[in-house]
Amino acid sequence: METKTALSQTVEDLRQKCETLEQQNAELAQKLKWFEEQFRLSRKRQFGASSEKAKDSEQLTLSLFNEAESESDPSASEPTVETITYKRKKNQGQRQKKLENLPVETIDYYLPKEVQSCSCCGGTLHEMTTEIREELKVIPAEVKVVKHVRHVYACRHCDRTGTQTPIITAQAPKPVQPKSLASPSAVAYTMCQKYLDAQPLYRQEQQFKRLGVALSRQTLANWILYGAKQWLSLIYERMKAHLMKQDILHADETTLQVLREPGRSTTSKSYLWLYRTGRQGPAIILYEYRTTRAAKHPAKFLEDFNGYLQVDGYAGYQQIKNVTLVGCWAHARRKFSEAISALPESAKNATSIAKEGLRFCNRLFKIERDLKIAHASDDERYQTRLSQSQPIVEAFSAWLQKQAPRVLPKSALGLAIKYCRAQWDKLKTFLQDGRLELDNNRAERSIKPFVIGRKNWQFSNTPRGATASAIVYSIIETAKENELIPFKYLTYLFEQLPNLEKQTEEALDELLPWSDSIPSECKLPTSE
């Protein structure tokens, strides 16, 4: 009897041990699957296409060293060089249109008078036609000294007979920076080189040296800091005032390293916040430097704003008062795209849950593309979304609820489903107003120039420099959105701002990028 009882206990112990081992095996299998997914996603981020659109794999391997060889195509025709003999009317093609907005320098070549005689009969030659060859002439940067000479006048009669002599000095424009070599064009050029073309100051220092002038990077930095704080900040504040009057905005943020922040290590992460208008109203793009990603920063910046705010999934935006948050379907779609990328190669061609989720998102984007092609009005977009997009959104919601308990929560697919469910109230907000957009790509596109520039200059030295960078980026990117030439617009600002009699709101508004008062030479040429 005792032997039978002991045997029974041994069997029960073995059964429990087997169940424990099976559970542990299942947990280890899940962890292994998760690590494999992360490995595949890591490989895709490192070597795959940077966007959701497919790209030529050869394009991704181009470097600065082989770009000329890779891009060269001897069989391709030159876009601008051609010889024209005016014996017939020539239709203007795409190549010629590329030249129509450029200034033209004409050089005429005539036969000398002594050879303008016929080699056959000796008669005088007349001009029959012309042949024209066009080519591009590049004028590199040139540095020159401009002397502003103010002539001073006095009265000779008073000088001889009077007790005092009136002295009058001719007027001259005020300098952009007193007691400095900085001119409006020099400061504008330095800013555009750094913030538009991503040229660090040490490279600009070398460029100026090659042009024959020794300007240290410290001098160039001083020009940027002074110009941003003293003058461009005035335009920045007026743009912010106009931004707060809008009722639809986009927001985003990215990291920034600032070396000398009080009380923080040099490796601490700071942030550059982006706020911009949507498709309505004047195009305004503003950046703001802050030390952290805390929710108090956007809440403070947007304290005077009341309306729709389109954002990504960052929870900090939920603490902003008086706003209705609008989610980003591009982020939702990206999560399912990553879930597909995390699948092993053997499963990528098979039907999967991740592909079903991606199809829901793609159907919504297809509707938006059709609306854009049709140039739909805001009301037409609203009505179409109610009739076509809303049923897809409702079906997707039911699908998410059905799939949530069936997938591993920490898997790439589980995270995609979790993201959509957590963001659902924001994701469906786009149905409320035809002016709203399906995604926050407008903000992501606007923050991309800073991200690209950061790869070159990598960090800001001080909080003062980071603030100046945010201001300059704001002016340049807003100018680009309003189809201005940033260099010419900045030069114009540095000419006008120091010479304003009164810095009133009305006077400053005349200088904003979308103002009708901006000179035509600051605007991008447009083809008629």
Q: Of the residues 439, 466, 484, which one is the last residue of a structural domain?
A: 439
What domain range is 422 assigned to? 329-439
Partners of 323 in the β-ladder: 307
Q: Are residues 323 and 444 in the same domain?
A: yes
Closest by Cα among 478, 488, 487, 485 to 514: 478
Q: Are residues 476 and 464 in the same domain?
A: yes
Q: Which residue has the higher pLDDT, 459 or 486?
A: 486
pLDDT band at 385 (very low <50, low <70, confident <90, very high): very high
pTM, 2 dp: 0.79
Whether 336 has a pLDDT exceeding 80, the answer reads yes
- In the Cβ-directed half-sphere of 5, how many Cα atoms lie within 13 Å? 2
115 assigned to some structural domain: no
Q: What is the average pLDDT across 397-408?
A: 92
User: What pLDDT is attached to residue 72?
Assistant: 41
Whether 159 has a pLDDT exceeding 50, the answer reads yes
User: What pLDDT is attached to residue 6?
Assistant: 63
Q: Are residues 362 and 268 in the same domain?
A: no
Q: Are residues 375 and 244 in the same domain?
A: no
Q: Are 238 and 256 in contact (CB under 8 A)?
A: no
User: How far are the Cα atoms of 190, 200, 245 from residue 207, in angstroms, in the given order?
Assistant: 11, 11, 43
Percent of the chain with pLDDT over 90: 55
Residue at token pair 């606007």? 446
Q: Are residues 295 and 351 in the same domain?
A: no
User: What pLDDT is attached to residue 44?
Assistant: 58
Q: Are residues 344 and 260 in the same domain?
A: no
C-alpha to C-alpha distance for 215 and 64, rounded to whole angstroms: 27
Q: What is the average pLDDT across 115-133?
A: 86
C-alpha to C-alpha distance for 421 and 67, rounded to whole angstroms: 44
Q: What residue type is assigned to position 14 of the chain?
A: L
Q: Are 494 and 227 in contact (CB under 8 A)?
A: yes
Helical H segments across 268-384, by residue range: 296-301, 329-341, 345-348, 353-373, 378-384
315 assigned to some structural domain: yes
Quick one: the chain helix, strand, coil %, rounded to 5? 50, 10, 40
C-alpha to C-alpha distance for 519 and 511, rounded to whole angstroms: 10
Whether 366 has a pLDDT exceeding 70, the answer reads yes
Q: Of the residues 414, 439, 464, which one is the last residue of a structural domain?
A: 439
User: What pLDDT is attached to residue 8?
Assistant: 67
User: What pLDDT is attached to residue 134?
Assistant: 83
User: What pLDDT is attached to residue 103?
Assistant: 81
User: What pLDDT is attached to residue 46?
Assistant: 56
Q: Which residue has the higher pLDDT, 79 or 207?
A: 207
C-alpha to C-alpha distance for 33 and 236, rounded to whole angstroms: 50
Q: How many independent structural domains does the chain possess?
A: 2
User: What pLDDT is attached to residue 411?
Assistant: 87
- Both tokens of 38, joined, read 């992360």
Q: Which residue has the higher pLDDT, 300 or 13?
A: 300
Lowest-confidence segment of 71-75, 128-132, 295-299, 366-370 by average pLDDT? 71-75
Closest by Cα among 194, 275, 273, 271 to 227: 194
C-alpha to C-alpha distance for 39 and 526, rounded to whole angstroms: 49
C-alpha 250, offset from chain centre: 13
Closest by Cα among 291, 241, 262 to 508: 241
Q: Are 197 and 486 in contact (CB under 8 A)?
A: no
Q: What is the average pLDDT across 283-301?
A: 94
Q: Are residues 315 and 354 in the same domain?
A: no
Q: What residue type is assigned to position 375 of the chain?
A: H
Whether 223 has a pLDDT exceeding 90, the answer reads yes
Tell me the pLDDT tens digit for each residue of 252-286.
999 888 888 888 888 888 999 999 999 988 999 99
Q: What is the average pLDDT across 342-347?
A: 66
- Both tokens of 16, joined, read 């429990």
Residue 325, judged by CB atoms within 10 A of its CB (0-12, 13-18, 19+), counts as: middle
Residue at token pair 């082989």? 66
User: What pLDDT is attached to residue 63?
Assistant: 40
Q: Of the residues 439, 473, 501, which one is the last residue of a structural domain?
A: 439
| 385 secondary structure, DSSP code | I
Q: Are residues 393 and 450 in the same domain?
A: no
C-alpha to C-alpha distance for 335 and 314, rounded to whole angstroms: 15
Whether 189 has a pLDDT exceeding 60, the answer reads yes
Whole-number average pLDDT of the chain: 84
C-alpha to C-alpha distance for 204 and 527, rounded to whole angstroms: 34
Q: Which residue has the higher pLDDT, 333 or 140?
A: 333
Lowest-confidence segment of 238-242, 457-461, 484-488 by average pLDDT? 457-461
Q: Which residue has the higher pLDDT, 317 or 139?
A: 317
Q: Are residues 338 and 266 in the same domain?
A: no
| 78 secondary structure, DSSP code | P
Q: Are residues 409 and 361 in the same domain?
A: yes
Length of the chain: 528
Whether 60 has a pLDDT exceeding 50, the answer reads no
144 assigned to some structural domain: no
Q: What is the average pLDDT across 151-163?
A: 85
Lowest-confidence segment of 83-92, 295-304, 337-346, 402-411 by average pLDDT? 83-92
- Both tokens of 15, joined, read 């059964």
Pairing verdict, β 152-154 and 167-169: antiparallel
Q: Are residues 509 and 446 in the same domain?
A: yes
Q: Are 44 and 341 in contact (CB under 8 A)?
A: yes
Q: Which residue has the higher pLDDT, 329 or 407?
A: 329
Please enumerate in sequence order all residues whose Cβ is within 8 A of that of 280, keeping only pairs 6 or more positions apart, or say none.
Answer: 246, 248, 435
Q: Which residue has the higher pLDDT, 94 or 526?
A: 526
Sign (positive or negative) of CA dihedral 307, 310, 311, 315: positive
Tell me the pLDDT tens digit for each residue of 45-55.
555 555 555 33
Q: Are residues 234 and 320 in the same domain?
A: yes
